[in-house]
Structure formats: structure tokens, C-alpha cells
Amino acid sequence: MSEKENAPAAAPAKGEVPVSRERARQGRRKVLRTILLTGGVLGAGLSGYLPLVYARTNRLRPPGALDEKEFLSSCIKCGQCVQVCPVNAIKLADLIDGFGVGVPYIDARAQACDFSCDAVQCILACPTGSLTYHKPDFMTEREGAALSQKPTLIAKMNDPEPTLNMTERMGVARLTRPESCLAMKGEGFKGQARGPDFKGTMRYIKVDRWKPIPVADHPYDLPLCDLCMRECPIAGAISLEKFTGPDGQTRARPIVHENCVGCGVCEMICPTEPASITIIPREVWKS
């Protein structure tokens, strides 16, 4: 009977073991701590929404990426695409990308995808189909995202199979700052395209087809800058349209064509700061 007297003020229900006040207090505290941990973990988890809701970072994704929402849901964040890229163009996003943490993207200005691998290896490496040669049928294709034909890689021009297995574009290049474009101003370019400290690499067919070299090791001397057209890896994606300026000088306007896949080589190689030609990620072709 003495046990009964030690029981808490509220008599325990029939069949329940009586608990001491101390035990009951400990129990309440445990519940509070459990709620604290629940809130902390769920809060951290759902904070991944914030970058999506507010800042909407517009990332250039690797070749063959599904549309953004599907890309984020299907990527398992393993970085196998990062590992196969011969020019290290693919990086994994950090915490500020929210749910996109650990998801691959390309910073074209720092290192563009120049298809040095010849065969979009990153798509082959992807274990979940986030990067894919062919979208599953139930997924809709945005108008203008599909390429009208498989892109021809200039480096593979003489191979029996010169095309890349890509059906959708990553984005589209645009002359976003025509006022600073050297060709538009009728100026030439001499020296290293991005200066001596630039770390980016690229494959130059005439130097070595199989080994990309630093852009800084490949200086230019051009009477009229045509770097975007000159280094574009895709056949028929950029051309220069010559025109005569008010001063009677020959100038040129870079024209982006429907063949553009949005790889970003033109943005990387553009010698003006900031780049005059840039990639609009996930942009579709508008004729």
C-alpha cells in the first residue's frame, strides 16, 4: 500500500503503473526535447525550400538534364557526372541551393562544357536518369527546347559518327552586352583570351585532340575578334555577320543559330569583362 501513497496527485488510471512525480517530470521533459529535435530537423529539411521560393538560382545544368523540377527530384547527388568530365566543367551546388545541394551545375564563365569527352559522358554516368539521352514519354518537352537535329561536333567532323547524342539544349547563347563586344566595336584581340591567371581548360583540335590544355596557354592574335565563333564546338551554332560601322570600319555581329546547344564555350572564351555573350540556362529557341 505504501507504493500507492507515493503515487502522483492525479490517481493513475486502472491498470496503469503508478509513476513518481520525478518520473512524470522527466517524461514531460523528454517530450519537450523530442519536439525540439523534431522541429530542428524538419525546419532544417524544409529550409531547402527557401532558395527555391525566393532567390530562384538559375543554374546551367549539364547536358541531357531533365527540366529543373524533375532534375532536382531525380538527382541522387552522387557526382558521378563530375568525375567523368575531362575538363571539370561540372560542379556540385552548396547549401545556398536548398534542395539543390549536391546537385551538378556548370559555371560556364569559369569552365564551360566543350565536349572534350566527344560523347556526353556525364549522361552515360548518371545512375538515375537525371541526365538522359531520351526523356521518358510521360514528361513534357518545352517548346523550342528540343534540338531540330543531333548537334555535329566540329572536333568529330571527320569521324564516321560526328554527332553528339543530345536531343535537348542546355540553354541558348545570347549577345547580352552588344555594347562591349569587340567584334561589334570593330576591334581585334591579341593575347590570352582570359588573362594569364585563368584556370579554365579547353581542347584545341590543332594542338591535341585528346588532351584539353589551359586557355591561358593558347594566346591569340586576331585583327577582328571572332573568338566565340572560332572556338564554338558545335557546327553552325554561331556566325559573324560583317557590317560597316559609321566610321567606315568593318565590324561584325555574332549571330547565334538554332544549332546552339548552350554549352557555354563562347561565354568562357569571350575576352571582355564581363562576357559580352552569355548562356541563358534552360532557354528555348525562339525563331
Residues that bind another protein (CB under 8 A): 29-31, 33-34, 37-38, 40-42, 44-46, 48-49, 69-70, 72-80, 82-84, 92, 94-96, 98-99, 101-102, 125, 127-129, 136, 138
Nearer to another protein, 79 or 144 (CB): 79
Nearer to another protein, 87 or 181 (CB): 87
Nearer to another protein, 6 or 34 (CB): 34
- Work out how close the CB of 144 gets to another protein at its nearest, in angstroms, rounded to a whole number: 24
- Work out how close the CB of 201 gets to another protein at its nearest, in angstroms, rounded to a whole number: 16
Strand partners, 281: 171
Nearer to another protein, 48 or 178 (CB): 48
- Work out how close the CB of 27 gets to another protein at its nearest, in angstroms, rounded to a whole number: 10
User: Do the Cβ atoms of 251 and 244 come closer than 8 Å?
Assistant: yes
Q: How far apart are CA 201 and CA 204, in angstroms?
A: 10
The sign of the dihedral angle between the CA atoms of 69, 151, 260, 189 is positive
Nearer to another protein, 52 or 146 (CB): 52
In a 3-state reduction of DSSP, which class is residue 240?
A: strand
Count CB neighbours of 124 within 10 A. 15
- Work out how close the CB of 34 gets to another protein at its nearest, in angstroms, rounded to a whole number: 4
**Rounded-to-10 torsion of CA 213, 214, 217, 220:** 100
User: Do the Cβ atoms of 98 and 52 come closer than 8 Å?
Assistant: yes
What does the DSSP 8-state code read for residue 62? P
Nearer to another protein, 39 or 223 (CB): 39
- Work out how close the CB of 65 gets to another protein at its nearest, in angstroms, rounded to a whole number: 13
Phi, psi (rounded to 5 degrees) for 105: -150, 170
User: Do the Cβ atoms of 269 and 227 come closer than 8 Å?
Assistant: yes
Nearer to another protein, 88 or 272 (CB): 88
- Work out how close the CB of 205 gets to another protein at its nearest, in angstroms, rounded to a whole number: 24
- Work out how close the CB of 128 gets to another protein at its nearest, in angstroms, rounded to a whole number: 5
- Work out how close the CB of 56 gets to another protein at its nearest, in angstroms, rounded to a whole number: 14
Cell numbers given for 157: 567532323
**Rounded-to-10 torsion of CA 227, 228, 230, 234:** 160
Nearer to another protein, 46 or 205 (CB): 46
Q: How far apart are CA 162 and CA 191, in angstroms?
A: 31
Q: How far apart are CA 204 and CA 209, in angstroms?
A: 6
Helix or strand holding residue 198 (H, E):
none
